[in-house]
Amino acid sequence: MEDRFDLVITDVRLRDRSGERLQVAVRDGRIAAITPDRPRGRIELDGGGNLLSASFVDAHLHLCKVYTLPMIGDEAIRRYTSGAMEQAGAAIALASAVKEQYAETWIYENARRALLEGLGHGVTHVQAFVDTDTRARLEAVRAILRLRDELRGTVHVRIVAFPQDGVLRDPGAETHVREALAMGADVVGGIPWIERTDTEAQEHTDRMFRLAREFDRDVAFLADDAGDPRLRTTEMLARAALREGWVGRVTACHARAMRLYPEPYVRELVDLARRAGMAFVTDPHTGPLHLRFAELLDAGLPVALGQDDIADAYYPYGQHSMLEVAFVASHIVGTPTFAQMEMLFEMITTLGARVMRLGDYGVAVGRAAHLVVLRGDTVHEALRRHAPPRYVISHGRLVAESREDIHLHI
């Protein structure tokens, strides 16, 4: 019996294997075989002819704010989605009022619920922005560090210590970010565009890179998150990466202002980003504009989709389903051709993995078995339904399954 695999998923289709029906076998948490044969497993799951893919990556989620909309009300959403810079700032101010009530206990419960809701939808890797400032203090960081460690081996959480209100506008935030990094936060966050002047935005950037150097951490900024073409912190981040030797270690999230830049500047910025090995995360569903992902992808840069927000002051919906995020994005970013669907699917899988710098990811023999069996036999069908996967496998273990429970009485 020792030739049995731990787990065999039968009768699945793979994206790059043109409809061929295959079996995927897992041993010791890894993909051990992809075969037309019928290997035996101690656990066997019937894939039903559906598409099997690597599980989903959410490269940008404000995990400490999930489900806080009822605490805040919807005024911030109206302002944030207006597109104007001063309104975006006002939205952040309104939203941050909730942080007076920040406490490790309820943040832990909310964040856990969001990660498990995501797991049911096949999300096994999450880059979590966690507010780390003088109002949030370290309450959210503590909650999510605890959660990261508890869910290790099931959901991979990468924590970005994020000074949401700036570091010059919020003196003391930097000290909290340093403490968060010392406690084990994975990535240095930043939001330089929120500062009062370009000089202060540069100072913000420089200070965050000093922390990145001190703790040897990657950097992820929330860049240029308003409809003002004068915002230039995406460029600032790219230049800092080049200057500090942080090539391939920086991510710009949002960067909505890029949509409004004049064409010559877009080309200049894309080239700069390419030299800086920069990654990007976009979230077209949560704001009025989105970055120039086609130009960035053409330059070979990873651009991922992020859930960004779940029922908080910036976005009222979201169930931590990356298929849903891609489905909604498909209506916003252009013509929903099959090619566009494939690209969006990449943005919630392999491109997300590149943003999070996951080396051990993908449907290939030898890779860690983080897999989903979707509803539908093509990316088009999976997106059309954007339903929870039939099966979710993390580290070679079945961690979630769902059933179709509509019964027609006709």
- Residues near Zn ion (CB under 5 A) are 308
- Cα separation, 72 vs 309, in Å, equals 14
Q: How far is the CB of 168 from Zn ion (least distance, A)?
A: 20
State which residue has the least CB distance to Zn ion. Answer: 308
Return the closest-CA partner of residue 275 out of 304, 299, 305, 251. Answer: 299
The span from the CA of 41 to the CA of 28, in Å, is 12
Taking Cα atoms as reference points, which of 44, 52, 42 lies closest to residue 21?
A: 52
E-strand ranges in 55-200 read 56-62, 123-131, 156-162, 187-190
Nearer to Zn ion (CB atom), residue 195 or residue 308: 308
Q: How far is the CB of 372 from Zn ion (least distance, A)?
A: 24
Least CB distance to Zn ion at residue 287 (A): 9
- Nearer residue to Zn ion within complex by CB, 127 or 378: 127
Q: Which residue, 139 or 308, is less far from Zn ion as judged by CB? A: 308
Task: Specify the residue, 173 or 252, whose C-beta has the smaller distance to Zn ion.
Answer: 252
CA dihedral 51, 114, 370, 406 (to 10 degrees): -30
Q: Which residues of 73-86 are buried (b: 16+ CB within 10 A; e: fewer)?
A: eeebbebbebbebe
Dihedral over alpha carbons 76, 133, 286, 326 (to 10 degrees): -160
Q: Where are the alpha helices (DSSP H) in 263-378?
A: 263-275, 293-298, 322-332, 338-347, 350-355
Residues 278, 280: Cα–Cα separation, whole Å: 7
- Closest to Zn ion by CB, 13 vs 256, is 256
Q: Where are the beta strands (DSSP E) in 102-201?
A: 123-131, 156-162, 187-190
Cα(358)–Cα(351) distance, integer angstroms: 10
Q: Which C-beta is closer to Zn ion: that of 133 or that of 308? A: 308
Q: How far apart are CA 271 and CA 281, in angstroms?
A: 17
Q: How far is the CB of 223 from Zn ion (least distance, A)?
A: 10
What is the smallest separation between the CB atom of 62 and Zn ion, expressed in angstroms? 6
By beta-carbon proximity to Zn ion, the closer residue of 249 and 290 is: 290
For 352, phi and psi rounded to 5 degrees? -60, -40
Minimum CB distance to Zn ion smaller for 254 or for 375:
254
CB of 363 to Zn ion, least distance (A): 29
Taking the complex as a whole, how short is the minimal distance between the CB of residue 306 and Zn ion, in angstroms? Answer: 7
Q: At its nearest, how many Å lie between Zn ion and the CB of residue 361?
A: 23
Smallest separation (angstroms) from Zn ion to the CB of 96? 14
Radius of gyration of the chain (CA): 21
Count Cβ atoms below 10 Å from residue 173 Cβ, excluding itself.
27
Q: What is the DSSP letter of 388?
A: P
Q: Of the two residues 143 and 305, which places its CB atom closer to Zn ion in the complex?
A: 305
